[in-house]
Chain A
């Protein structure tokens, strides 16, 4: 929007040209819109005149709503005290702890789900349905506490304390003052965080498929089940639409709520986080952080512990067995080559998604209707990755007349990963580019710099870090992507997450041990990528 002032007609195909928008649009049209619409169209076609499993579908929808709601409430209950301790209290290590709190967020879903499997292994309760539901909710909390901390924390940190003290001075109790003065000011941030958490919970395929043991079905896993087990694409399509509606209505409710609540906020000032006073203050911090700490540390320790606890005592046997180069039964691939494949795909995904996201951001900041392009690019966020995978399988596997096939070129999986990663990359880059003062560009242009030079010399240095961050996020998403990949992976060419899932389904302690070891490796790979690309915090905060 800010770019409107610069009315100079750009030369053809310059950095300002709308042509830049063609690549991302064409990409999404082929790899997202076509597969998704084709799947839904075919499903609706199949559904005509056949009976759909309405009760199963309804119960999957109900389970999704219930699990997501419980997950969100618990995440807030654990995340808000943590946010308070990390952002309202000043103590040594708070910054480090804040960085640490973000770690679970970038971990692949399959790793987190497997960590909880490692934790509950052997517990009889975990094999019952209530046990499975509880474990799933715990995994939701694990993932999303970071969202609450990162979204609510900074707002909380900036709350001006004076009105709170004014209320106290006027006789309000501490509790009343907090409820009547501080809470309303925080509510918009809490709503934003809750909506984001809710969305992540409701589209958490990997967690439910691994921890649900086939008897807990959410919309996402039911799509997978209907397609894979029953070949009922009609049901899959209806569930896909249901998923889109769930996402859309969540966004709508969140935006309505925020609209209503806006303006009730306190003035933001440079409030200082307080040092804890005395043992009671320290105790409060410990008490506020320990639930989050338990939720993070216990499953991850269980995962690492199980990965080194072998029949012969503590050792790296499972790691050695995993990476001794042998082909694992049933996948016709070694774990090392699966890891290599995952890394390659992550690099391709990061490169392409970041380039396309940059193009989107350029168009969005320079062309009058460019904002629409940005919104279009966000659409895949609203569609289950399972739908993207299944749709791609039905449409993109055909051989083109010239003999070219995406399957032979090994491009099917990277393409799906790019679809999933592009919205996130765009969300990171666009605000950074928008934040560049247009007067800088105008000044450079006035001094005779071509649009390309303006971009290279003025904007690029300012947005470089965001671009790196976007690339890191795209790579991390790709490394952990499971929902779409499970449909698209080819025989003999598993990615690390699909390999882990395969190992989890095979009998014997050794396979399970190798699955735990592979999860630790994947987690380390993901964290390394996230760290290299600077700070993962902007990652999945789309609201």
Chain B
């Protein structure tokens, strides 16, 4: 009896839903916070707390943060909101009630989604790093300030190839060679941002042939994990980890961490790189625009920028930030990274990921 009634009511709910589907498609109202962003000339010293939403890999020494807090009078809170894609999606889902004042860690594979959703206040930082040589060369996206960049590349375990008397691969095509069978581990583009970068790279490199490429890669014993740490820390056969895969997806900046007794044990394959840029932005609806701007400026300061290689394994955009010597020695950037325009990424990303999932994991 009760069950039957419950069913009736449930179907009623579904019916109501279907009816209201037509009316509910009006665009959601953007929050009616002060529409004018604080004038750039405002001299009032910012105060209060600035909450910065970050991706899960964010790390910066406490001392650096303390120093800025003392100098600026601001309190800065960092809150992790998941991996790259999850971070952006949360911003979109919560645009009626922004989670923070500043967001850091949106990369170029998701930048356009943020731009399209209209969730950022426009801001052009006066900091020199905002117009550095490198920043000038990066694709600009509405409301976003480039903070750092890195090259997602395949890394190889040099000791493995040396001890097996095998030449390490160099290009994407090399990976299809049967002599590299069961050697490659990459990450899932649906759940990991380097994975997505690598997928976009194959599309940039192979055009319409990307599906054939992945089919062949899969046939050659590809392993796919859900996160970078699974691939790098667990699968990588490099001496520090002892996994079973000598070719893994990581970054151009990874090898310096694997230098043992002054000798590199791994190397990045510079022909297999995709350039990833990470941006910061100010969220619409913040009640501390001046504070938020000060935090973005701080992220471009050399104090912050010089910490990035050691804390987050990324290259600073500032021309004047200091770069560790071992990076200069062992972490060269790719001279010709693969890339894809933000617009193309926007239009194709979701379909590519879904097709990839069906093709490789299905």
State yes or no: do A and B come from one complex.
yes
By a CB distance below 8 angstroms, the chain B residues around A53 are: 354, 357
Contacts of A45 in B (CB 8 A): 21, 24-25
Check if A3 is an interface residue, CB within 8 A of chain B.
no
Q: Check A397 against B79 for contact (C-beta < 8 Å).
A: no
A56 surroundings in chain B (CB, below 8 A):
354, 357
What is the bound-complex CA distance between A390 and B3, given in angstroms? 27
**What interface size band does chain B fall in?**
35 or more
Q: B113: which A residues are within 8 A, CB to CB?
A: 231
A58–chain B nearest beta-carbon distance, Å: 11
Instruction: Say if the beta carbon of A376 comes within 8 Å of chain B.
Output: yes
CB neighbours of A36 from chain B (8 A): 13, 17
Write out the residue numbers on chain A whose beta carbons fall within 8 Å of the beta carbon of B222.
none
Judged by DSSP, the binding face of A is helix
Known interface pairs A332-B79, A378-B6. Does A228 touch B51 (Cβ–Cβ under 8 Å)?
no
Q: Which A residues are CB-close (under 8 A) to B85?
A: 229-230
Is A215 a contact of B13 with CB atoms below 8 Å? no
Chain A residues near B264 (CB, 8 Å)?
Answer: none
What residues of chain B lie closer than 8 Å to A490, measured between beta carbons? Answer: 99
Known contacts being A37-B16, A398-B29, A491-B100, is A331 close to B89, with CB within 8 Å?
A: no
A245-285 contacts to B, CB under 8 A, are: 247-248, 251-252, 254-255
From the candidates A42, A329, A331, name the one contacting B24 in the complex (CB within 8 A): A42
Report the separation of the CA atoms of residues A333 and B261 in the bound assembly, to the nearest whole angstrom. Answer: 40
Those of A288-344 within 8 Å (CB) of chain B: 329-332
Task: Determine if A535 is an interface residue (Cβ-Cβ < 8 Å).
Answer: no
Q: What is the chain B residue whose CB lies nearest that of A195?
A: B3
Quick check: A214 and B226 within 8 Å, CB to CB? yes
B71 at the interface (CB under 8 A from A): no
Q: How large is the interface on A (under 10, 10 to 19, 20 to 34, 35 or more residues)?
A: 35 or more
B10's contact among A244, A390, A394, by CB below 8 Å, is which? A244
In the complex the two chains form, what is the Cα distance from A393 to B14 in whole Å? 20
A55 within 8 A of B: yes
B82 at interface, CB cutoff 8 A: yes
A492 in contact with B79 (CB, 8 Å): yes
Q: Within 8 Å CB of A55, what residues of B?
A: 358, 362
The chain A residues found within 8 Å of chain B, CB to CB, are 33, 36-38, 40-42, 44-45, 51, 53, 55-56, 213-215, 227-232, 241, 244, 247-248, 251-252, 254-255, 329-332, 372, 375-376, 378-379, 382, 390, 393-394, 397-399, 405, 407, 487, 490-492, 502, 505-507
Q: 5 new A-B pairs (CB below 8 Å) besides A51-B351, A244-B10, A394-B93?
A: A37-B13, A42-B25, A375-B6, A397-B97, A398-B97
Offer 21 A-B interface pairs, CB within 8 angstroms, sorted by A: A40-B17, A55-B362, A56-B354, A214-B188, A215-B226, A229-B85, A230-B89, A230-B353, A231-B93, A252-B7, A255-B4, A330-B79, A330-B80, A332-B79, A379-B6, A379-B10, A390-B93, A394-B93, A398-B29, A399-B31, A490-B99
Measured CB to CB, the residues of B under 8 A from A are 2-7, 9-11, 13-14, 16-18, 20-21, 24-25, 28-29, 31-32, 51, 53-54, 56, 58-59, 77-82, 85-86, 89-90, 92-94, 96-97, 99-100, 113, 188, 190-191, 226-227, 229, 350-351, 353-354, 357-358, 362
